[in-house]
Amino acid sequence: QYDHLSLYKKVQSAGNVIPRLYLVLTVGSATLKHLVANGDDPSMDALPISVTELLVDMEAMCKGVQHPMRGLFLRAYLLQSAKLALDADRSASVSFLLGNFAEMNKLWVRMKYGDDSVSREQLADLVGKNLLYLAELVSFEEFRGDVLGKILEQVVSCRDSIAQTYLIECLTAAFPDEFQVGTIDQILDVLPKLDASVNMATVLGSMLDRLARYSETEAAFTVLNELQVFDKISASVEASIACHRDKLSGEAIVSIYGGMLSFADTVYPGRISYADGILGKCLAKFGDCKAGVGGQGQGDGRCEGLGSLTPDAATNKKLVDLLCLPLEKYDLTTLLNAEFFSSLVDILSPNKKRELAMKVATIMPRRGEVIRDVASAKALFGFLEPLHDAQSDENDSKAFATALGSIRLENPAQRAKLVFDLVEGFKGRDDVVRSIGPAAVSSALDGVDIREYSDDTLVLLVGVCSRIADAGSGATAVRLLLDIVKAVGTARMDGDEGGHSSRMHIVYECMEQACILLERALFESVACKTTLMEIISTLPTADAILPSDSRDMLHHKVASYCTNLLPRKDQCRAILALACVERDGPTVQARLRRAAHAIRAIREQDAVFAGTRTQEQLEEPQKLLEELEQAVVYLRTQGVEISDDELQDLHG
């Protein structure tokens, strides 16, 4: 029969304390094993000591090592040696673990005063293991009653930020979720008492993460709600920030609210009031004390402003991250109408505002979001202002233009007015008008039934086109005018005949404006030919609406453009194109003859300058002739009569 206690006594004769204690713990462990294994067996000689007494003795002896790192490792070995006996007497084991935990934490914290090269953080888990074992032993009642209190006492009193941060995280990780939720008050009470340099965001973050995961089950969610967990956390956060206001950086504060926001989003998804409330509380920390007053039940009415805390670069970055959270989850209309979202955006630095504006501008079309009321649209414009200010560039304007496409006001008149006001607002800024104007007009036309537009409204749009032309984008302006014409034409073709005589004026106005622009602004420019072709292709649409005399005038004008505004080589094609949209026999003839004339003129010129012409150029007249013939074929199918003799003439 092996005599454990004799050996336990004998090893205590070792002269030096560290070897002695390691020997004691080793023998102690073997003795514990023996006790645990044979405790109930009456045939074994009972050792005159109980498991509890032995545990207590082993722990008490460890006090002899006061050197922080050596003591820490010794007690880690103690824990390991004791593990197999912890189940024997649970209440004694709880006591033992709490005691060892407190001692180990003290030693671990004390390490910071020494010159141990090992970084303290690496040894954190040695301390944390006590909590892990505790978690396996205690019931919820015990946890809530005594155990958590004692743990938190040690956490607060050690006054070391590394320890505090680690231990709260460890607490959260080691004990079951139900325990945490049931004792949330105790833990939250402790937060303001933590050392000022503790990163509240990290601590809160891990806590909130666990709670969020826990809340994913239906039952858990109910519990969380009943216990008003969110409110409690919110109150604790406010208290903590107030406690440490002079030591917390703006960045840290925003991080904390970031954590809160994620949490609110997980537990109460889609409830903007919670998210906005948090934003409001965050806002209150910077400068103006707007938040908290009359807030939607998310806090008391006290003003929590920290005076003039202006966000620095790091804080700005964090604020953008914060604002992006609701941006991802809610649509713009909701956000723009939320109480604090825009106000919080306001305090950002100009660069960050632009960054955020870009995000918004790109998110909206991606999500297919649509803004339907004027107020939100105006708010959006305000939001996107950085995209067209003095420092903006081409990308910014493009983004803005794309965002415009998301505005679909119910009332078309409002829509047109909005666009008009917007572009008017850019008067004097030609570059902006050029980049944003076209998109503005398109947004007013897209998906709208033009019949809903009054004439006055359409006049506004025409006005916008003029502004665009004034700003230098003549070709684009013409295109837009033609779009208007096409839109009117499309509406008409749907069969509704009544009361649209007034549309004639609009259409004529558009066509006339287009012609004026062509003549004055685009003469001799690269875009002249294409623009003229576009006008020509729009003629059929216009023709359907315009009265005959207006029609004729228009065609006549266009015909003259074909010859006067274009270089020789392009004239023929232009005339042919025009010819194809004519329906009146004589007019067609006249056009065709004009075209043929043009071809002959080219041939003559070629003859004179034969030496300098390229092969391609020499073949040109033949090509044109073929095109002429194709035009004739086409016209015949359209019901225009062209006799073979006339065709002969043309060739001649």
Partner 1 sequence: MNFLGFKPACTVDVELLKGDGVKPELVTLRSASGVPETIPLYTDGDTVSGVVTITPAFGKKIDHQGIKIELLGQIEAYYDKGSFYDFIASVREVSGPGEIKEELKYDFEFPNVEMLNETYSGVNVRLRYIVKVSLVRSYRGSIVKDFPFCVRNTAILPEINNSIKMEVGIEDCLHIEFEYRKSKYHLKDVLVGKIYFLLVQIKLKHMELEIRRRETTGSGSNQYNETQTMAKYEVMDGAPVKGECIPIRLFLGAYDLSPTYKDVMNKFSVRYFLNLVLVDEEDRRYFKQQEIHLFRTEM
* Residues in contact with partner 1 by the rule CB under 8 A: 9, 12-13, 15-18, 20, 60-61, 63-68, 70-71, 110
Per-residue exposure over 56-95, b if at least 16 CB sit within 10 Å of its own CB, e if not: eebbebbeebebbbebbbbbbbbbebbeebbebbeebbbb
Which residue pairs from 196-199 have beta carbons closer than 8 angstroms and sit at least 24 positions apart in sequence?
196/161, 196/243, 196/244, 196/247, 196/248, 197/161, 197/247, 198/161, 198/164, 198/165, 199/161, 199/165, 199/252, 199/255
CB of 100 to partner 1, least distance (A): 15
Cβ-based nearer residue to partner 1, 20 or 408: 20
CB of 110 to partner 1, least distance (A): 7
Cβ-based nearer residue to partner 1, 24 or 444: 24
CB of 134 to partner 1, least distance (A): 24
Cβ-based nearer residue to partner 1, 72 or 167: 72
Cβ-based nearer residue to partner 1, 100 or 215: 100
> What's the Cα-to-Cα distance from 105 to each of 19, 57, 98, 156, 198, rounded to whole Å?
23, 20, 10, 11, 17
Work out the widest C-alpha separation in the chain, in whole angstroms: 136
Cβ-based nearer residue to partner 1, 3 or 552: 3
Cβ-based nearer residue to partner 1, 67 or 408: 67
Please name every residue paired with 407 in a beta bridge, in sequence order, or none if there are none: 371
Cβ-based nearer residue to partner 1, 15 or 495: 15
CB of 349 to partner 1, least distance (A): 48
* Residues recorded for the chain: 652
Whole-angstrom distance, CA of residue 533 vs CA of residue 297: 64
CB of 61 to partner 1, least distance (A): 6
- Residue 239 CB partners (closer than 8 Å, separation 6+): 191, 192
Per-residue exposure over 187-201, b if at least 16 CB sit within 10 Å of its own CB, e if not: bbebbbebbeebbbb
Cβ-based nearer residue to partner 1, 41 or 115: 115
CB of 15 to partner 1, least distance (A): 6
Whole-angstrom distance, CA of residue 234 vs CA of residue 239: 9
Place of tokens 């505005």: 407
CB of 158 to partner 1, least distance (A): 12
Cβ-based nearer residue to partner 1, 12 or 222: 12
Cβ-based nearer residue to partner 1, 20 or 83: 20
CB of 18 to partner 1, least distance (A): 6
Please name every residue paired with 371 in a beta bridge, in sequence order, or none if there are none: 407
Whole-angstrom distance, CA of residue 565 vs CA of residue 576: 15
CB of 355 to partner 1, least distance (A): 52
Cα distance between the two ends of the chain: 134
Say if CB 366 and CB 403 are below 8 A apart: no
Q: Give the 3-state secondary structure of residue 371.
A: strand
CB of 24 to partner 1, least distance (A): 10
CB of 70 to partner 1, least distance (A): 6
Place of tokens 């005063």: 113
Cβ-based nearer residue to partner 1, 110 or 467: 110
> What's the Cα-to-Cα distance from 341 to each of 231, 272, 307, 347, 383, rounded to whole Å?
20, 10, 20, 11, 11
User: Dihedrals φ, ψ of 407, to 5°?
Assistant: -90, 115
Cβ-based nearer residue to partner 1, 65 or 371: 65
Q: Give the 3-state secondary structure of residue 407.
A: strand
CB of 80 to partner 1, least distance (A): 20
- Residue 71 CB partners (closer than 8 Å, separation 6+): 62, 65, 103, 107
